């Protein structure tokens, strides 16, 4: 029979100390790593995303400025009776934010251009000939936009949009026209003179990532028409996700032009109503005055806001508060646009 000799285990104090020390070192490392990931990285990324949105806003301001300069060049050529030679402007747009290596993923953004889905329409009647009282109907249309959607994870998600000469900043709890388009009202001898721009943007394309991509624009046509002897109210309609921003712009502009205040809503002939609800907090907003009507309504069928502006025209000059519209000036602009390297598809 074989005898088995049992060996007694020997306690090693140095081995225990090494193991405990390693575990403590790992715990300290994990504590600092957790602190960095949970505390410092969100702050770094929030600041980076906020800074990026400010930079992108400046880039959209440059985009608007470039288009405005092209429109001005075309208008001056028209006034001088000279041939207008279109030029192309290139505006870099930074899409997103690179993440902190190891600790955080990049924040992606998407810039896209579309000529569909944001229609503008301005309509009214006027007498083309002062000797022949036969009214003609004017129906001018426009549309198109360039937008940057940034999918921020630490800072609030925002979009920047250029449409019809305006730059809009959008987020789910609010939207605002930050750079205003051409829309002005002046008064001469108790009559109104109104000017506005309508920009038709042709082209499409999109890019996504964190890189810097280019938006190319080329104004190919500028035409300014002055309409007199208007025989109806002027109606401006628009459908867009950013209808609340346009409502605020038209409302503020018209209130300022007619020297109105918030107290004016309590006066006879004025009505100001708001209906809360919908995905963006407002189902309907409406202001009715003797001079204009501004209305915005959420349309669940299109998932957009429908904006309606009515500029009242007392062309017979027999309504005490409402004034006649002596001139309505429309500057019609047609431009091509492209994102990234697809400019050759739209003659850019």
Q: What was the pLDDT predicted at 37?
A: 63
Q: What was the pLDDT predicted at 10?
A: 60
Cα dihedral 17→19→25→28 (10° resolution): -100
Instruction: Go through the chain and tell me how many residues it has.
Output: 348
Taking a C-beta distance cutoff of 8 angstroms, is the pair 127, 133 a contact? yes
Q: What was the pLDDT predicted at 205?
A: 87
Q: What was the pLDDT predicted at 341?
A: 65
Q: What was the pLDDT predicted at 103?
A: 65
Q: Tokens 């405990």 appear where?
A: 20
H-helix or E-strand containing 47? helix 41-80
Q: What was the pLDDT predicted at 250?
A: 97
pTM across the whole model: 0.87
CB neighbours of 284 closer than 8 A, spacing ≥ 6? 273, 274, 275, 295, 296, 297, 298
Q: What was the pLDDT predicted at 83?
A: 87
Q: Tokens 């001018």 appear where?
A: 140
DSSP letter for 303, please: T
Q: What was the pLDDT predicted at 340?
A: 77
Q: What was the pLDDT predicted at 13?
A: 58
Q: Tokens 């109210």 appear where?
A: 233
Q: What was the pLDDT predicted at 46?
A: 87
Tell me which residue of 296, 271, 264 sits closest to 283, measured CA to CA. 296
Q: What was the pLDDT predicted at 42?
A: 77
Angstrom distances, CA of residue 262 to CA of 175, 249, 292, 329: 20, 15, 15, 29
Taking a C-beta distance cutoff of 8 angstroms, is the pair 122, 196 a contact? yes
Q: What was the pLDDT predicted at 12?
A: 57
- The list of the chain residues with pLDDT below 50 reads 344
Ranges of beta strands (E only) in the chain are 88-94, 109-114, 120-126, 136-142, 145-150, 158-163, 166-171, 174-179, 183-188, 191-202, 205-209, 212-228, 234-240, 271-276, 282-288, 292-299, 304-311, 325-339
Q: What was the pLDDT predicted at 337?
A: 93
**Phi-psi label, residue 277: left if phi above 0, alpha if psi -120 to 50, beta otherwise:** left
């Amino acid at each position: 029979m074989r005898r088995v000799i049992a060996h007694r285990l020997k306690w090693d104090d140095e081995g225990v100390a090494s193991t405990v020390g390693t575990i403590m070192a790992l715990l300290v490392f994990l504590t600092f790593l957790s602190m960095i990931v949970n505390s410092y990285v969100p702050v770094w990324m929030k600041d980076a995303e906020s800074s990026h949105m400010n930079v992108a806003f400046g880039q959209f301001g440059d985009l608007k400025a470039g288009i405005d300069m092209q429109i001005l060049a075309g208008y001056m050529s028209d006034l001088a009776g000279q041939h207008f030679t279109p030029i192309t402007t290139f505006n870099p747009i930074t899409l997103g934010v690179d993440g902190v290596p190891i600790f955080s993923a990049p924040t992606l953004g998407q810039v896209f251009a579309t000529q569909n889905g944001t229609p503008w329409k301005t309509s009214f009647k006027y007498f083309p000939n002062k000797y022949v009282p036969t009214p003609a109907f004017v129906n001018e249309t426009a549309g198109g936009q360039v937008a940057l959607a940034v999918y921020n994870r630490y800072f609030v998600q925002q979009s920047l949009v250029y449409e019809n000469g305006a730059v809009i900043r959008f987020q789910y709890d609010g939207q605002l026209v930050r750079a205003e388009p051409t829309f002005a009202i002046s008064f001469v001898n108790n009559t109104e003179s109104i000017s506005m721009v309508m920009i038709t943007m042709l082209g499409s394309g999109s890019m996504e990532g964190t890189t810097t991509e280019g938006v190319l624009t080329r104004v190919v046509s500028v035409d300014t028409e002055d309409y007199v002897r208007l025989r109806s109210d002027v109606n401006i309609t628009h459908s867009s996700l950013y209808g609340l921003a346009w409502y605020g712009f038209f409302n503020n502009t018209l209130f300022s032009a007619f020297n109105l205040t918030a107290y004016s809503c309590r006066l006879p002939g004025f009505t100001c109503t708001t209906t809360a609800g919908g995905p963006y907090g407002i189902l309907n907003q409406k202001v009715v005055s003797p001079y204009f009507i501004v209305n915005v309504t959420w349309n669940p069928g299109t998932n957009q806001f429908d904006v309606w502006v009515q500029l009242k025209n007392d062309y017979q000059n027999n309504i005490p508060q409402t004034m006649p519209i002596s001139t309505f000036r429309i500057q019609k602009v047609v431009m091509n646009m492209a994102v990234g390297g697809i400019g050759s598809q739209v003659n850019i």
